[in-house]
Amino acid sequence: MLDFPRWKVTSIIAFIVALMLLAVPSFFPEEQTAKWPIPHPRVNLGLDLAGGSYLLLEADTKDLANSRLEQMREQVLTEMRRTTPRIGIGDISIRGGKLSFMVRDASQVDAARERLLGITGSGAGMTGQRQWDVEVVDTSRFVLTPTQAGLNEAITTAMGDATEVVRRRIDELGTKEPTIIQQGSDRIVVQVPGLQDPQALKDLLGKTAKLEFKMVDMNADPAELAKGNAPIGDEIVPYPGNPMGVPVIAVKRSTIISGDQLIDARQAFEPQTNAPIVDITFDGEGGKRFAKVTQENTGKQFAMILDNQVISAPSINEPILGGKAMISGSFTVDSANELAIALRSGKLPVALKVIEEHTVGPDLGQDSIHAGILASAIAATAVIVFMLVTYGRFGIYADLAVTINIFVILGVMALLNATLTLPGIAGFVLTIGTAVDANVLINERIREERHRGRSVVQSVELGYKEASRTIFEANVTHAIAGFIMLILGSGPIKGFAIVLLIGIATSVFTAVTFTRMMVAIWLRRNRPSEIHI
């Protein structure tokens, strides 16, 4: 037990020094460490210390389900039209989460079914379940019901894309080290440290940025539109800035061009009025289409629809060739820029809303860091003095172990790229306390054995041996609580649990192995006949 060959001493010290070295970069400002030629892992500061915003976003899955139905309606229409001979359908409607339509000629039901099976896809991911159930009721009416498996798959895909889009949008804001992680099936956690204006972030994330260009139905009667009656084949879209007086406008259902075909969007100024606008550039396909449509419809109006709201409805004065267009509306420079970012980063496949937010101002973060450091320093000093006066030499060993332990924890945290939060600092303080407990257990046991009349060496040996078992058991139970916090906890609980768990692991090493080595070396060198403990 007290036998420490040289190689063992060397490796223990090397191990400790290595872990402590890992903590060093965290004590220097980031600008400085960035230039270091060697790897420099850092402990990240949590938002409560660094200041910043935490946002929990949730996808509107209902909205996603609806847009899937809409898409399917479009698909069905195109598919039936494309078939030769053309399959005539009618009475197409979406009701109760289902899409239904009639096939006019009953003899075409089988052909229609075949077509439908093609587009409703059998391969819903790995489960192999269908995306949609296709039923025929009343001989010629088809009912398409989205299956749960299909919907889940759509959500998964949409969330993957949405996370990407959110990441791109936040990167555009130019903040440092944002964290964007998908959580569960329909949530995204966004953490942006040091953000000055969380409002801008939320405005940006709130935009779906679904951009569509559709033709305006010039023949629609504004009075009828105001009542909510759309001409056949049209839909009514809100248009707050409509010069016709009514805040709505009728557009053709089919999209002539969509935001997917964008390759760039920039904030700019209208040459004549100097008003802020957004310049957009289409890809080759989109540009061609745009040119064709504007050629065919010169003199008519088209609508630019963003997130289901018309921003502007310009008249086509001449064919627009070259794949460039501009979106004008009542923009400010900031809102035009935001829209440009949103358009550049692509549309969000599903609407996201903020369901939880925590924002910490930079001042409070600074105050918390100072308070935390002060409290930890005072706590450590108090504990160190207390151990020293109680256990003498053995107290010094314990103190050394505690001090080393603090740096080792920081080192391990840096290595794991863990985040230090305010509750984490509390975890530190508590770890100082519990790490000392291990030494208290050992030292009290040595005292006890010594008191029972055992020799110095025997007492020390038994002290470590008996106490180690207790320490092991106590730490395992402590770790159980820690793991449960880590798994189930959110936010502050997690930050605390990380420090606690690392602390449990490292404190066993420093408080038991390291002090035992120190005591063993001392015993071997001095062979004391009496110990003060």
Partner 1 sequence: MRLLKLVPDDTNIDFVRLRHAAFVITTLLTIAAVAVVFARGLNMGVDFVGGLMIEEKFEAPPPLDEVRRSIERLDVGEATLQQFGDPRTVSIRLPVPDSTDEGATNAVVEKVEKALAAEFPGATFSRYSTVSGKVSGELVNHGILAVVLAVLAIGLFAIFRFEWQFGISTVVAIVHDVLMTMGFFALFREWLVFDLNIVAAVLTIIGYSINDKIVIDDRIRENMRRYRKMDMRQIVNLSVNETLPRTVMTSLTILLALAALLIFGGHVLRGFTAAMILGVIVGTYSSIYVSSSLLITLGLRAEPPADKPGPAPSNAERVGPRSGS
**Binding residues for partner 1, how many (CB under 8 A)?**
81
Per CB under 8 A, does 166 bind partner 1?
no
Per CB under 8 A, does 81 bind partner 1?
no
Per CB under 8 A, does 416 bind partner 1?
no
- Of 62, 86, 469, 524, the residue at the interface with partner 1 (CB under 8 A) is 469
- Work out whether strand 302-306 and strand 211-216 pair parallel, antiparallel, or are unpaired: antiparallel
119, β-bridge pairs: none
Each residue 318-357 as x (binds partner 1 by CB under 8 A) or -, in order, gives: -----------------------------------xxxxx
| Cβ-based neighbour number of residue 389 at 10 Å | 9
Nearer to partner 1, 202 or 253 (CB): 202
Q: Which two tokens stand for residue 463?
A: 């002290």
Question: Among the candidate windows 137-145, 288-296, 322-330, 428-436, which touches partner 1 by CB under 8 A?
Answer: 428-436
Per CB under 8 A, does 488 bind partner 1?
yes
Per CB under 8 A, does 115 bind partner 1?
no
- Of 209, 360, 410, 413, the residue at the interface with partner 1 (CB under 8 A) is 360
| Cα 46 from Cα 371, distance rounded (Å) | 15
Per DSSP, 260 falls in state G
- Of 45, 155, 418, 426, the residue at the interface with partner 1 (CB under 8 A) is 426
Nearer to partner 1, 116 or 352 (CB): 352
Question: Among the candidate windows 17-25, 146-154, 163-171, 383-391, which touches partner 1 by CB under 8 A?
Answer: 383-391
- Of 304, 387, 413, 518, the residue at the interface with partner 1 (CB under 8 A) is 387
**Beta carbon of residue 57, minimum distance to partner 1 (angstroms, whole number):** 10
Enumerate residues 6+ apart whose C-beta is below 8 A from 128. 122
Nearer to partner 1, 65 or 474 (CB): 474
Question: Among the candidate windows 271-279, 311-319, 493-501, 506-514, which touches partner 1 by CB under 8 A?
Answer: 493-501
| Cα 56 from Cα 356, distance rounded (Å) | 5
Per CB under 8 A, does 473 bind partner 1?
yes
Reference 479, options 499, 509, 508, 500; nearest CA is 500
Per CB under 8 A, does 363 bind partner 1?
yes
Query: Would you tell me the crossing angle of helices 492-508 and 422-451 to the nearest 10 degrees?
Result: 30
Nearer to partner 1, 263 or 378 (CB): 378
| Cα 17 from Cα 489, distance rounded (Å) | 32
Nearer to partner 1, 359 or 403 (CB): 359
- Binding residues among 391-410 for partner 1 as defined by CB under 8 A: 391-392
Q: Is 382 exposed, middle or buried (0-12, 13-18, 19+ CB in 10 A)?
A: exposed
Per CB under 8 A, does 238 bind partner 1?
no
CA 351 to each of CA 120, 188, 457: distance values in angstroms, whole numbers, following the listed order: 24, 12, 70
255, β-bridge pairs: 214
Question: Among the candidate windows 74-82, 286-294, 316-324, 469-477, which touches partner 1 by CB under 8 A?
Answer: 469-477
- Work out whether strand 89-95 and strand 132-137 pair parallel, antiparallel, or are unpaired: unpaired
Q: What is the DSSP string of 486-501?
A: HHH--THHHHHHHHHH
- Of 237, 340, 350, 422, the residue at the interface with partner 1 (CB under 8 A) is 422
Nearer to partner 1, 46 or 287 (CB): 46
| Cα 207 from Cα 213, distance rounded (Å) | 17
Per CB under 8 A, does 501 bind partner 1?
no
Nearer to partner 1, 143 or 354 (CB): 354
Enumerate residues 6+ apart whose C-beta is below 8 A from 290. 213, 256, 257, 282, 320, 323, 325
Per CB under 8 A, does 510 bind partner 1?
no
- Binding residues among 271-310 for partner 1 as defined by CB under 8 A: none
Reference 506, options 30, 157, 19, 1; nearest CA is 19
Q: How many CA atoms lie within 13 A of 19 on its CB side?
A: 22
Per CB under 8 A, does 492 bind partner 1?
yes
Q: Which two tokens stand for residue 153?
A: 């798959």
Per CB under 8 A, does 530 bind partner 1?
no
Per CB under 8 A, does 106 bind partner 1?
no
Nearer to partner 1, 107 or 529 (CB): 529
* 194: alpha, beta or left? (left if phi > 0; alpha if psi -120 to 50): left
**Beta carbon of residue 123, minimum distance to partner 1 (angstroms, whole number):** 33
User: E-strand spans in 344-394?
Assistant: 352-360
Per CB under 8 A, does 490 bind partner 1?
yes
| Cα 241 from Cα 31, distance rounded (Å) | 48
| Cα 488 from Cα 274, distance rounded (Å) | 54
Each residue 186-205 as x (binds partner 1 by CB under 8 A) or -, in order, gives: -------------x--x---
**Beta carbon of residue 462, minimum distance to partner 1 (angstroms, whole number):** 8
Each residue 28-67 as x (binds partner 1 by CB under 8 A) or -, in order, gives: --------------------x-------x-x---------
Torsion of CA 183, 185, 188, 189, to 10 degrees: -20
Per CB under 8 A, does 465 bind partner 1?
yes
Torsions phi, psi of 29, nearest 5? -60, 150
**Beta carbon of residue 511, minimum distance to partner 1 (angstroms, whole number):** 12
